[in-house]
Structure 1
């Protein structure tokens, strides 16, 4: 396991912890058992789906990467506001980073992503690495456009010798507004995404309800060759509908940032 005080080497990659893998694996096994029962009533089909269940946790990496990026960006918005306030109070950039780090440890805890990144930034400054170079490294590893924008502004401000506190304050406002718009979009679409999850499970419950309320109603679908073909087509259609609904309901703000 990586050191909780070390920064993430790249936010474009995600290493599943054993607990995360087991949690996702359990979810996949339960889904395989449900699909096998609803569509085939076959233990053999369940065993065939098990290898896919083992691979399912690996397919969730992109979602986990997007969630981690979102968490980092929301914390970065607060960090940038604290940094701008410290600079406006007359602190140097290094002291402003140090003051911001103390506040961030209180807000997010010492093991949080943003605290680890700011700790690493200060460590680089203590090794006489230019601040703009250290922030560029953070922006490159994060893969987030808003952090890259901040790195570019800081680099230009340092080279031009302009009003760094004023520039950082304005940059903080602009980046904060952009992040706020993304959050508002996610909030507005939250109800639709919840409805999509509910609609995804309704077909399964309908089949189970009819089967339990009218025993033998679907027997021909499980005991004949043509019935199994029809159920296979239904399963394929259902899986395609799941994929399509996720594509429609998803907002890829954090994956593309």
Structure 2
């Protein structure tokens, strides 16, 4: 019980230290160059005018702390299983500070994927409106109503973006300029291609109805293929996670069922063997994650 209390106190102290360090780092970056930081993840992934940037993601302090604490807890358990040492558990807990970076990348990927799916639905709506005889401006007004039926959350990224586009249209700004601005901030190939083709059609007087219809069909087919690939690799990703967890679970089982049998692993040359095994498992886990990181 005393060991657990010491581990908890040390973990809490380590977590508080990293939180203070993170706050100091953000203040320092903000003081160096407000204009540069305004478009960075530390400032929320927003441009100075408040528009979102979809190539960056900022973890809130709570998200950062939860990611750090969760990873640190897992790492500390692994460290204690391998060494039966509170010091090793605390050091492994501190290594959890590396995880928020990966968590931020995962959340950014999820946000960009959702934005792509929302844009696919928006193109179907715009194509239907144009085919029904509505003007381009009215079609972009109507798409907001259609998206709200699919995404009730008022803070949905693309609904907010189309509201911005509608406001720009009401202020007399060309619609192609608003779309190009969205494509630059989104950094998604499908949105960029659509915005460029749309702008070219507006300049040259092309058939917007046919262009939007073909573009929406192509993007829809492309996303369907991506979803099929994601379904195919989902099982393998699950199996890879089991492979990474299995050695730690087996070690925990041996510690609970046969502690005397495992005792030599926590003294003398056994500590060296444990270190080598832990390094090997870490390298294998990183290799597995790299292999299964399939971006489609």
The structure 1 segments of at least 4 consecutive aligned residues displaced by more than 6 Å after TM superposition are none
User: Post-superposition shift, 1:2?
Assistant: 9.2
TM (norm. structure 1) is 0.91
Q: Is the 8 A contact 2:72 2:94 kept in 1?
A: no
Residues 167 and 7 of structure 1, relative CA distance in 2, 3 Å threshold? farther
Provide the C-alpha distance between the structure 2 equivalents of 1:233 and 1:58, rounded to a whole number of angstroms: 26
Mapped pair 1:138 → 2:165? no
Q: Could you report, residue by residue, the CA deviation over 1:95-134 in whole angstroms, capped at 9, with x for unpaired residues?
A: 1011010111121121111101111111122222211111
Q: Distance in 1 between matches of 2:119 and 2:257?
A: 54
Higher mean C-alpha displacement, 43-52 vs 127-136: 43-52
Give me the whole-angstrom Cα distance separating, in 2, the residues matched to 1:75 and 1:108: 9
What does 1:145-164 align with in structure 2 at a 5 Å threshold?
145-164=189-208
Equivalent residue number for residue 188 of structure 1: 232
Which residue of structure 2 lines up, in the alignment, with residue 34 of structure 1? Answer: 77
Q: Which residue of structure 1 lines up, in the alignment, with residue 264 of structure 2?
A: 220
Report the TM-score when normalising by structure 2.
0.80
Q: 1:107 aligns with which of 150, 158, 175?
A: 150
CA contact 2:76–2:91 (8 Å) conserved in 1: no
Q: Which residue of 1 aligns with 2:134?
A: 91
TM-aligned CA deviation for residue 51 of structure 1: 2.7
Higher relative contact order (CA 8 A, sep 6+): 1
Distance 2:252 2:147 in 1: 50
Number of aligned residue pairs: give it: 250
Report the secondary structure of 1:91's partner residue: coil
Question: 1:34 and 1:241 mapped to 2: Cα distance?
Answer: 19
Q: How far 1:53 moved relative to its partner?
A: 1.5
Unaligned runs of 5+ in 1: none
Residue aligning to 2:116: 73
